[in-house]
Chain A
Amino acid sequence: MFKNLFLKSVLKNDPKSFWFFLLFILLQTFFTFKGIENYPFFNFGMFSGELQTEFTTYEIYSDGESIVHCFSDESYSILKRNIDEYLRIKKQLLTTNDITITIKRRVPESWVPFFEKQLTNKYIEDVRFKKWVVHFTKYQTKRTFEHYTIYKTTFDPKTKYETRELIFKE
């Protein structure tokens, strides 16, 4: 069975490539078992992770008109994730995969403020973030507008009922 093993043939024909492949396989295996990603060693969970039970999204209106359909799919998810993260910081919610916990575990205490400044969004300014939302939305939708409103919408599949909560209004 192992007569035609790929790596064995590589070792015979091209030892340099063999050692490179072996190193890659070892590192990939290590990171896969640790369950973390380190570019370029990726893990491919494909939605096998935590089960989502609450279905929330954001709706964005400019001058009273919904402009969700003007975004491309990925650009809209960029906006949604950014609003999510912003609200999370404002509410000081610590989720299990919060990066500050990892920082405190990995580096000495005196370094924590520097790491937090470089790697987290703890020091985000409201005005700058809202300005980015407008810039990004205008660029991605190719529209100009004066006022905008963003709602957080929760959808309940059992009742097909939507609940809306106002996030920003400018």
Chain B
Amino acid sequence: MTLLFENLIFTKRLILFSCLLFIFQRFLIGLSLFGLSEPEQIYVGSDNTYWILHLLNIPQILLKTPFNWIIDICFVITILSQIIWVKNKYLTIISICLTTLHSISFFSCLGNQNHTYLGILFIQFPLIFIDNRERFLIWFAGLRYYTLFLYVSSGFWKLFRGNLEEPDRFMNVFISQNIDYLVSFDGSLIQNILYWMFQFSFDTFSFFWIVVTFFQLSLSIGFFTRRFDSVLMVLIFLFHLVSAFFFQIWSFLPVTILLFSFLIKPSQKFKRGCAGFQIS
């Protein structure tokens, strides 16, 4: 598997192709700027980047026709053109800017709590250094730590916000995420599962939340060794699948693109602190 990723050009193409698949899938079900049909309301939260762009009126303009479909098309074209002109780093930089604009404009309509385009944004940074093998590999190694931070920090948030002392949290999250299945979809699998769970007290299922917290905290082993990387990858992917199927968090699935950083490894020499890189 690692041999496959020795070819940086192939690696870059494969990653961008996966990004493209995620984007196409979202666009096809209508989750593009055009699909938002010129929203009337915005949510910026306390995010300063959102504030600056909104004060400059940029997302408001991009959400209106014809700019919305122009940005949608440009977003796809820059990623597609990177697959063709793979060594051009300026295309990657333009693509990063467009990802930012697209994602901020899109989530202004939804609130900025969704991190759907996070994977597509961050995975493109190492790709800028396609002509510098060493830096390319260093940045991917850095990205691997960021990916781990993503899950581990979530475990710490749960721990420090006192989630483990709230026995009914799991059921509350489970119900609120599947509320439409309870109300509008009669006879669905999730509805049946929920009705079965209602027979018990909410506290019965508290151990699920403890399991999730400790799973996320246990991923911190990746900070110290690369030995279990394949196991961690599979576990993280399963975590995303379960949260998508049972908690309807489909918007978080494109973040799995960050798992590519687990497959691209710096050499043994790097670990010893010598100059020069090879893929082990």
In the assembled complex, A160 has its CB within 8 A of some CB on chain B: yes
How far does the Cβ of A42 sit from chain B's closest Cβ, in whole Å? 6
How far does the Cβ of A134 sit from chain B's closest Cβ, in whole Å? 9
Q: Are B135 and A81 in contact (CB under 8 A)?
A: no
Q: A21 to B144: give the CA distance in the assembly, Å.
A: 13
**Chain B interface main SS type:** helix
Q: Are A51 and B183 in contact (CB under 8 A)?
A: no
With A39-B49, A44-B153, A140-B35 in contact, is A119–B270 under 8 Å at CB? no
Residues in B whose Cβ lies below 8 Å from that of A62:
none
Q: Which residues of B contact A (CB under 8 A)?
A: 29-31, 35-51, 54-55, 57, 100, 103-104, 109-112, 115, 118, 121-122, 134-135, 138-139, 141-142, 145, 149-151, 153-154, 157-158, 161, 163, 166, 168-169, 171-173, 175-176, 179-180, 182-185, 195, 198, 216, 248, 250-251, 270-273, 275, 277
Q: Are A139 and B35 in contact (CB under 8 A)?
A: yes
Q: A17 to B142: give the CA distance in the assembly, Å.
A: 10
With A55-B179, A77-B110, A153-B183 in contact, is A36–B157 under 8 Å at CB? no
Question: Other than the known A17-B139, A45-B157, A140-B30, what 13 A-B pairs have Cβ atoms closer than 8 Å?
Answer: A13-B273, A21-B142, A42-B115, A45-B154, A46-B157, A48-B157, A53-B172, A73-B248, A74-B110, A75-B35, A97-B46, A124-B41, A157-B171
Q: Which residues of A contact B (CB under 8 A)?
A: 4, 6, 8-10, 12-14, 17, 21, 28, 32, 36-40, 42-49, 51-53, 55-57, 59, 66, 68-69, 72-78, 81-82, 85-86, 97, 99, 102, 115, 118-121, 124-125, 128-129, 132, 135-136, 139-140, 153, 155, 157, 160, 162
Residues in A whose Cβ lies below 8 Å from that of B150:
44
Q: A81 to B112: give the CA distance in the assembly, Å.
A: 12
Q: Are A157 and B198 in contact (CB under 8 A)?
A: yes
Q: Are B154 and A118 in contact (CB under 8 A)?
A: no
Residues in A whose Cβ lies below 8 Å from that of B55:
115, 118-119
Of chain B, the residue at the smallest CB distance from A50 is: B161
Q: A68 to B251: give the CA distance in the assembly, Å.
A: 18
Q: A81 to B110: give the CA distance in the assembly, Å.
A: 7
Of chain A, the residue at the smallest CB distance from B110 is: A78
